[in-house]
Amino acid sequence: MAKRTILIFGESKEGQFQKLLFINSLPKLATILGEPTETGIGVHIAIQAMLYNLEVLFYKVKEEGSDEDAYLQGFRLIEKEAPSLILGAIALPGASAPKILEIANSLCDLHNSLILSNERDLYDYITRNRP
């Protein structure tokens, strides 16, 4: 049985921007992504995923949650370059834009997976989208 993969949109000190980075070991993670940034949590999520034997598909953004176009480009790349991916979860730290969450939700429906969030992102989403 194939391993489930967690898709993470995040910041890191190393690695190429706006490219899909497949990571399947902690040493490879350290080599490709380097250390986490001071504010980003994407690398921390990736480490946790690796400790639970998940593979990571990391999409590096300049700042978590800030550039909607970068996220949209990431979703297009996944559709194009990784259509057979078995996706277990999507982590979008800092992202609360409705368009990003809508696309992520559609992808989760397709893969029967879930969106990972934290209380800060949930609060931002709730207060941003009040009627």
**What is the CATH number for 94?**
3.40.50.11780
Q: Which domain holds residue 98?
A: 5-128
Distance CA 91, CA 82 (A): 17
Q: Taking CA 33 as the corner, what is the angle to CA 27 and CA 34, rounded to the nearest 5 degrees?
A: 75
Query: Using an 8 Å Cβ cutoff, are 121 and 92 in contact?
Result: yes
Query: Using an 8 Å Cβ cutoff, are 63 and 38 in contact?
Result: no
What is the count of structural domains for the chain?
1
Residue 126's pLDDT band (cuts 50, 70, 90): confident
pLDDT of residue 130: 62
pLDDT of residue 46: 96
Q: What is the pLDDT of residues 23-53, one digit of tens each?
A: 999 999 999 999 999 999 999 999 999 999 9
- pLDDT at 1 exceeding the cut of 60: no
How many other β-carbons are positioned within 10 Å of the β-carbon of residue 94?
A: 21
Distance CA 46, CA 83 (A): 21
> What is the residue-averaged pLDDT of the chain?
89
Distance CA 98, CA 6 (A): 21
Distances in Å between the Cα of 42 and the Cα atoms of 58, 59, 80, 118, 131 are 8, 9, 23, 12, 30
